[in-house]
Copies of this chain bind each other. A is one copy, B any other.
Amino acid sequence: MDATAVLFANETFYHAFSHRDFAVMERLWAREWPVLCIHPGWPVLTEHAAIIESWRRIFQNSATGTVTPHYARAFVYGAMATVVCYEEIQGALLVANNTFIVEAGEIRIIHHHASHCANPPPPETKSAPAMQ
C-alpha cells in the first residue's frame, strides 16, 4: 500500500460523500473483507449491505451538505493503510479514521469511524494542527 495512493482514495471517499455520489461510494467499500462503519452517534454497522444502505440514507438527507477533509495523514501497515483526518461538516469538526485495503486491484475502504471532536485544533491550524 502506498501512502499517496491511499490519500487519493481517501479524497475519493470525501468527494463521493460531499457530492452524494452513491455509485462511487458503493464501489469504494470492500466486498471480500469484513467491513465496519461507525457514523457519529450510530451503532456500529458491520454488514456490507447495512453500510451501503446507511450511505443511501445519508445521501437522501439534504441537510448533510459538503464534507471537507482536513489534515489527512496516512499510516501504512504493509497491505493496509489508515488515514486519519478531520471532517468539516456544516461548521462542525469531526475526527475520522478510515482504513483501506487492496482488493481486486483497487484500494477499497474497510473501516470508517467518524466521531465528534469536542476539543478540535484551533481553526487556523486545521491544515497542520500541532495536537500532541
CB within 8 Å of B: which residues of A?
33-34, 36, 38, 40-47, 49-50, 73, 75-80, 82, 84, 86, 95, 97, 99, 101, 110-111, 113, 115-121, 129, 131-132
Contacts and interface: CB of A to CB of B under 8 A. Distances in A.
B40 A115 contact: yes
A119 B101 CA distance: 29
Contacts of A34: 75-77, 82
Report the copy number of this chain in the oligomer: 2
29 contacts: A34-B75, A34-B82, A36-B75, A36-B82, A36-B84, A36-B97, A38-B97, A38-B115, A40-B118, A41-B119, A42-B117, A42-B118, A43-B119, A43-B121, A43-B129, A43-B131, A44-B84, A44-B86, A44-B131, A45-B131, A46-B73, A77-B80, A78-B78, A78-B79, A97-B97, A97-B111, A113-B113, A113-B115, A116-B116
B80 A80 contact: yes
A46 to B, nearest CB: 7
A80 B78 CA distance: 10
Contacts of A43: 95, 117, 119-121, 129, 131
